[in-house]
Structure formats: structure tokens, C-alpha cells
């Protein structure tokens, strides 16, 4: 599936490649390969990520591999995802330049993007949460990112024909969507030992209960259908804490190769799920010197601040006349003021319910599916890890099966605090 002319930029080839790009050479301060240092820092399974550093500065080169790396060439993966990542970064940069790495160059043949290097001390948020770091603007920044990218790409802001035109384009990222459908909504609920794993034997009974929980599976089926057939907004599509880079006061969302037109709650749910997993994992990272109980609470506070901030900013965009150009709720349909407010509440209520459902489904798959999270995986003692995972599973069950029992995101935090 690789285009003619494709080659991996390994073995130093990345340096020759980018020295040939005038705009990129400018950022590095040289066109001389000898003056550029490179290293591959990718931590994923599907892509190569290089830092290239010249005398003046560094850039990142991200290149798609035509197969899933850990499995080898036996699991091919569309190279087109690089183009979608490029398009998504461009769209996100338009709405949120402060939270999106600027793309300097895209090469369709190589499936490669050259982009801004998000410099240290930025680290991946998941690592920060494992280390116990706090970030003063994280919640507000992600709230803004979500509110702007979701609102401004939806029919709340666009005409229906504009929306359908975009849906046509993004529907082509269907192979990446299929991967998501399989790993989140399908495999965890089936007996597929090659694709599922969990802390065993500690969670064996819990997994059996999930597979036999008809009400849970019915709720997941509705979420899956929504994922497959709802085109509310352009989603990041993979917005977990491993796709966010942070230092105090600065936040970037990276890696939108799964972007597509889908239900908004899938993106908001992704970050909620990963914050809950991070919070539930804290007992596993506690030491006598650093008990982590207060930190687990801090993460829940961030979750509440993030979703509350998201709702506020989303509604602020919606209430601003200039943004209400979309066909969803045309001017004149609802009288401004209380009547529009009711339409907004109705929409936000449904979005909250979707958010909780998708969050729960994502938590479950990270505990019993193929791809786990380091927050839990890095807990060495299996009894301790299983206890954290059980706590997370109990919350997830409620989120998926009883979203209506939560009046607000604060109720979710309360449940997470209550649980043993």
C-alpha cells in the first residue's frame, strides 16, 4: 500500500531529505546535512518520528509506515493517514494555533510531515500524570481546543452543504476508523485471545462479567453505531493523554491521524477517560514520601474544570451571533434568549451523555483490550494494578450503562472519589 517512491527515512536519510526543503532548512539554520543531528524518538507502532536539529533550531519529521511496526509487514495500514493527519493539523491550527504544532511541509509520497518541534520541558501529558506533575492551564487549554475544533467544524457553524462536503472528504479515512471500531467497540466484548489481554488471573472474573453483561453490550452497540454513523464534527479521533504535550502554561495536541467526522462525545470522552484512568492509577504510584491521594484528586478536579470549561466555551461560541451561521439552529428558529438557551441545554445534555458513554467504553478497552495505558502498565505489582483497574472498570460500567444518573461532570468526580 506504500506509494511508488516511498522509502522509510531511516539510517540518516531524514537529514538529506529535509536539507532539501528550503523552508525547513531555514528553521534549522542550515542546508548542510553535516550540520544536522537526527534521532528517532517515535514511541508508537505505526509511525517513525525524528528530531532533526541544526545550528539554529530543531524540527520534527513524522513518517507513516505502511504497516503496524510491532507486528511487522503482516498488518498493513493505509499510508493515506499521513495526509489526514496533515489536513487535521492544518484545520486545528486554523482554530487553535496556540495548541497545535505548525506543519511546515507535507510529502504525500513519503507519507511524511515536517512540523514544529515542541521543545522540552514539554513532555507527553501521560508521563507527567504518572510523575505527579501539575499543570496550571491544562484544563483550560484542552477545554478551548475541544470547544473551538468541535464547534467550528460542526453544523452549528457551517451550512449543511459545507458539512456534507467535509464529510465526503473525511469519510476516506475509513481504514483508521475501522481500527478504532475494532479495538474499542468490538474486540473487548468478544473472545479473541490474540487481541485482548488483562491483568490475569486477578481480572478474569471481571472480564467474564463484561462479556456476559447484556445491558453493557447493548449500550456499547449504541455507541458503536454512533461512531459509525454520526457526522457531528471533525474529531481529533485519538485525543488521549498520550496525544497531548505539556509544560506548565503550555499545551499542544498532536497526532490526529485518526481524524474523521464523528460524534463530538468521542473526543470529549477520550480525554475524560484518560484522566479517570490516570486518577485511578495513582495508588499504584504512591510511595510513603508521596502518597498521591491529593494528586488523584487534583486530576479529578482537572477533569471537572476541563469539561465545565469546554461547555462554557462551546456555548459562548454558539451564543455569539457571528458564529451562528450554521444550519443546525438557524437564526429565527428559536427566539434569542431563553428559547435558544433551551435548545442549547438540550444539545449539551445529549453531548454530555455521549461523552460519558464513550469515556466508559474507552476505559474498558484500555483495561481488557489490546492497547493498555502506561498509567496502569507501569504499576509493577499485579495485585495493586488490578485494584486500580477494578476501580476504573467500576466507574466505566456506570458511565456506559447509566449516563443519565450523572447530572454533571462533578458527579463523575464524586463517584471516582467515593469508590474504594
Min CB(54)–ligand ADP separation in Å: 15
Min CB(396)–ligand ADP separation in Å: 23
Residues for the chain: how many in total? 420
Q: Which does 165 bind (CB under 5 to 8 A by kind): ligand ADP, Mg ion, a second copy, none?
A: a second copy
Q: Which residues bind ligand ADP (CB under 6 A)?
A: 41-44, 46-47, 49, 60, 62, 101, 115-118, 124, 243, 254-255, 257
Instruction: State the residue for C-alpha cell 475501522.
Output: 178
Min CB(126)–Mg ion separation in Å: 10
Instruction: Find the residue with minimal CB distance to Mg ion.
Output: 255
> Alpha-carbon distance 104 to 375, whole Å?
33
Q: Which is nearer to a second copy, 138 or 210 (CB)?
A: 210
Q: Is the peptide bond before 121 cis (omega within 30 degrees of 0)?
A: yes
Min CB(403)–Mg ion separation in Å: 26
User: CB 374: neighbour CB atoms within 10 A?
Assistant: 18
Examine residue 402 and tell whether it contacts a second copy (CB under 8 A): no
Rg of the chain, C-alpha, whole Å? 22
How many chain residues touch a second copy (CB under 8 A)? 46
Q: Which is nearer to a second copy, 71 or 221 (CB)?
A: 221
Q: Which does 168 bind (CB under 5 to 8 A by kind): a second copy, ligand ADP, Mg ion, none?
A: a second copy
Q: Is residue 255 left, alpha or beta, with left meaning phi > 0 and alpha meaning psi from -120 to 50?
A: left
Cell of 245: 504535550
Q: Which is nearer to a second copy, 25 or 234 (CB)?
A: 234
Q: Which of residues 302-341 bind Mg ion (CB under 5 A)?
A: none
Q: 3-state class of 8 per DSSP?
A: coil
Q: Which is nearer to Mg ion, 257 or 313 (CB)?
A: 257
Q: Which of 10, 90, 160, 336 binds a second copy (CB under 8 A)?
A: 160
Structural contact between residues 243 and 255, judged by C-beta atoms closer than 8 angstroms: yes
* DSSP symbol at 89: H
- Residue 264's contacts (CB-CB under 8 Å, 6 or more residues apart) are 150, 154, 232, 233, 235, 351, 354, 355
Structural contact between residues 155 and 66, judged by C-beta atoms closer than 8 angstroms: no
Using alpha carbons, select from 370, 70, 366, 367 the residue that is nearest to residue 193.
Answer: 370
Instruction: State the residue for C-alpha cell 514544529.
Output: 116
Q: Which does 230 bind (CB under 5 to 8 A by kind): a second copy, Mg ion, ligand ADP, none?
A: a second copy
Min CB(266)–ligand ADP separation in Å: 17
Q: Which is nearer to a second copy, 94 or 333 (CB)?
A: 333
Q: Which does 62 bind (CB under 5 to 8 A by kind): ligand ADP, a second copy, Mg ion, none?
A: ligand ADP
Q: Which of 8, 93, 132, 175 binds a second copy (CB under 8 A)?
A: 175
> Alpha-carbon distance 270 to 71, whole Å?
25
Q: Which is nearer to ligand ADP, 113 or 139 (CB)?
A: 113
Q: Which is nearer to a second copy, 90 or 160 (CB)?
A: 160
> Alpha-carbon distance 31 to 23, whole Å?
10
Q: 3-state class of 88 per DSSP?
A: helix
Min CB(252)–ligand ADP separation in Å: 7
Positive or negative CA dihedral for 254, 260, 265, 266? negative
Structural contact between residues 226 and 263, judged by C-beta atoms closer than 8 angstroms: yes
Examine residue 1 and tell whether it contacts a second copy (CB under 8 A): no
- Return residues touching a second copy (CB under 8 A): 155, 159-161, 163-165, 167-169, 171-172, 174-175, 177-178, 181, 186, 189-191, 214, 217-218, 221-222, 224-225, 228-232, 327-330, 332-334, 339, 342-343, 346-347, 350
Amino acid at each position: 500500500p506504500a506509494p511508488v517512491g516511498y522509502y522509510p527515512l531511516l539510517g540518516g536519510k531524514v537529514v538529506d531529505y529535509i536539507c532539501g526543503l528550503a523552508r525547513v532548512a531555514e528553521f534549522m539554520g542550515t542546508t548542510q546535512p553535516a550540520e544536522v543531528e537526527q534521532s528517532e524518538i517515535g514511541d508508537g507502532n505505526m509511525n517513525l518520528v525524528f528530531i532533526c536539529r541544526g545550528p539554529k533550531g530543531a524540527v520534527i519529521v513524522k513518517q507513516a509506515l505502511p504497516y503496524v511496526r510491532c507486528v511487522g509487514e503482516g498488518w498493513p495500514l493505509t499510508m493515506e493517514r499521513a495526509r489526514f493527519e496533515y489536513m487535521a493539523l492544518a484545520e486545528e491550527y486554523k482554530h487553535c494555533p496556540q495548541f497545535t504544532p505548525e506543519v511546515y511541509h507535507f510529502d504525500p509520497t513519503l507519507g511524511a510531515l515536517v512540523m514544529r518541534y515542541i521543545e522540552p520541558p514539554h513532555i507527553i501529558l501521560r508521563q507527567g500524570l504518572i510523575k505527579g506533575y501539575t499543570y496550571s492551564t491544562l484544563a483550560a487549554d484542552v477545554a478551548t481546543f475541544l470547544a473551538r475544533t468541535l464547534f467550528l467544524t460542526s453544523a452549528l457553524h457551517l451550512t449543511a452543504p459545507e458539512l456534507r462536503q467535509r464529510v465526503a472528504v473525511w469519510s476516506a479515512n475509513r481504514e483508521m476508523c475501522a481500527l478504532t471500531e475494532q479495538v474499542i467497540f468490538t474486540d473487548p466484548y468478544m473472545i479473541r485471545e490474540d487481541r485482548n489481554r488483562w491483568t490475569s488471573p486477578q481480572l478474569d472474573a471481571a472480564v467474564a462479567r463484561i462479556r456476559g453483561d447484556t445491558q453493557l453490550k447493548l449500550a456499547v452497540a449504541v455507541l458503536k453505531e454512533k461512531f459509525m454513523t454520526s457526522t457531528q464534527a471533525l474529531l481529533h479521533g485519538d485525543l488521549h493523554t498520550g496525544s497531548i504535550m505539556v509544560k506548565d502554561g503550555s499545551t499542544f495536541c498532536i497526532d490526529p491521524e485518526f481524524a474523521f467526522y464523528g460524534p463530538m462525545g468521542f473526543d470529549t470522552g477520550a480525554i475524560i477517560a484518560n484522566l479517570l484512568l490516570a486518577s485511578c492509577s495513582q495508588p499504584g504510584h504512591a510511595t510513603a514520601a508521596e502518597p498521591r491521594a491529593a494528586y488523584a484528586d487534583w486530576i479529578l478536579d482537572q477533569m471537572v474544570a476541563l469539561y465545565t470549561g469546554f461547555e462554557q466555551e462551546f456555548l459562548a461560541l454558539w451564543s455569539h451571533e457571528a458564529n451562528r451561521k450554521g444550519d443546525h439552529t438557524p437564526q429565527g428558529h428559536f427566539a434569542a434568549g431563553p428559547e435558544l438557551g433551551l435548545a442549547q441545554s438540550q444539545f449539551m445534555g445529549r453531548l454530555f451523555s455521549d461523552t460519558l458513554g464513550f469515556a466508559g467504553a474507552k476505559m474498558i478497552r484500555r483495561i481488557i483490550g489490546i492497547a493498555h495505558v502506561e498509567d496502569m502498565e507501569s504499576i509493577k505489582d499485579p495485585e495493586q494494578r488490578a485494584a486500580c483497574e477494578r476501580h476504573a472498570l467500576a466507574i466505566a460500567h456506570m458511565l456506559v450503562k447509566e449516563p443519565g444518573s450523572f447530572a454533571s461532570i462533578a458527579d463523575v468526580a464524586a463517584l471516582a472519589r467515593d469508590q474504594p
